[in-house]
Amino acid sequence: MANVKFSRQREAIREYLASTKSHPTADMVYNQIQSIYPNISLGTVYRNLNLLVEQGDAIKVSCGDGMEHFDSDTSEHYHFICKNCGDVIDLDMECINHINTIAGSAFDGKIDGSITYFYGICPSCLAETKE
């Protein structure tokens, strides 16, 4: 990739992603960054988020809700997606690398990693149903 010029707006987006565990959508990032840079456009936010993904500084998390969520934690980890409120939560568990070995045993190619999503009801939504 060509050398990319420094951008204060991109750096603000990167810092916001690093400061949150909420896995925001581009619209959520836009709403946060607009308070710092009132003239920023949603298109600029989208382009910079995609550039951060291309550079390996963020990942996209597709949750099945039609929107892409972004995460600055690029390590291999797993996500829980609440079917009720749509929250995306990092799961604190060791990587299940053996799943790559199992999948690779019946596959002639090379598996470098995996993406696994867990679905259900988050603790907040579960607590609300008990009240």
Beta bridge partners of residue 82, listed in sequence order: 120
pTM given for the model:
0.85
Last residue of a domain, one of 74, 93, 115: 74
Same structural domain, 54 and 103: no
Q: Which tokens in the block code for residue 131? A: 């009240």
pLDDT beyond 90 at 131: no
Same structural domain, 126 and 108: yes
Main-chain phi, psi angles of 119, to 5 degrees: -120, 150
Q: What is the pLDDT of residues 69-117, one digit of tens each?
A: 999 999 888 899 999 999 999 988 776 767 888 888 888 998 887 888 9
Is residue 39 within a helix (H) or strand (E), and if so which, with residue range? none
Q: 1: pLDDT confidence band, cut at 50, 70 and 90?
A: low
Angle value at C-alpha 9, between 54 and 55, nearest 5 degrees: 15
